[in-house]
């Protein structure tokens, strides 16, 4: 009689729990499953994404601009160091010369000799550097009319030179080249007028 009673109870329980199952002490629902996100969940996600983008996009653009200015500064310092080491190695004069006018941002090159004789389109070019960007200016602040810097056979200059690098009047870096030919980079809050 007991086995018959247990079988009857099992049948009743099996019919009652068709959409639910017992697992240990927890009741799991097997029947209806979720088919994605609700409209409210999507709207909250989009609102949070919109807020993050309004903060992140301007910061990212500023970061990209600052990185471009830093890259231009590092390239110019590398050009000075290369010209200085080549002047010592070749025991002659090496110059870093702006390609067009006095703005080194339009491209520059390293040439052997002094600038009046050699230009960036001559056969004496050691290395050329491309245009750095439309919103970056690079000028010799110590002498704005000058378009070149020349290192002698000892790696030195005739006088200290200062280069001002500005990005759209927002970021400003300065490169100082001492009489011995050593470079030093400094940051500043605003571009000189």
Please state the domain extents for the chain: 65-188
Q: What is the pLDDT of residues 5-39, one digit of tens each?
A: 444 555 555 555 444 554 555 555 555 556 788 89
> Can you give the pTM of this predicted structure?
0.71
At 119 the pLDDT is: 76
CATH fold group of domain 65-188: minor pseudopilin epsh fold (3.55.40)
Look up residue 77 and give its DSSP letter: H
At 18 the pLDDT is: 47
Q: Does position 69 have pLDDT exceeding 60, yes or no?
A: yes
């Amino acid at each position: 009689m007991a086995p018959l009673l247990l079988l009857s109870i099992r049948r009743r329980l099996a019919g009652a729990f068709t959409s639910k199952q017992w697992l240990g002490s927890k009741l799991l629902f097997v029947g209806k499953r979720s088919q994605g996100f609700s409209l409210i969940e999507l709207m909250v996600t989009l609102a949070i994404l919109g807020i993050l983008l309004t903060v992140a996009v301007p910061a990212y653009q500023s970061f990209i601009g600052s990185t471009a200015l830093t890259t231009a500064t590092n390239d110019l310092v590398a050009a000075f160091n290369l010209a200085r080491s080549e002047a010592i190695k070749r025991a002659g004069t090496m110059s870093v010369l702006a390609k067009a006018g006095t703005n080194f941002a339009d491209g520059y090159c390293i040439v052997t000799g002094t600038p009046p004789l050699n230009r960036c389109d001559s056969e004496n070019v050691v290395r050329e550097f491309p245009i750095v960007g439309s919103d970056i200016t690079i000028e010799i602040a110590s002498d704005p009319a000058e378009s070149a810097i020349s290192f002698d056979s000892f790696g030195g200059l005739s006088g200290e030179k200062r280069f001002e690098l500005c990005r759209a009047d927002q970021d400003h870096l300065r490169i100082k080249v001492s009489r011995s030919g050593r470079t030093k980079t400094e940051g500043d809050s605003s571009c000189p007028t």
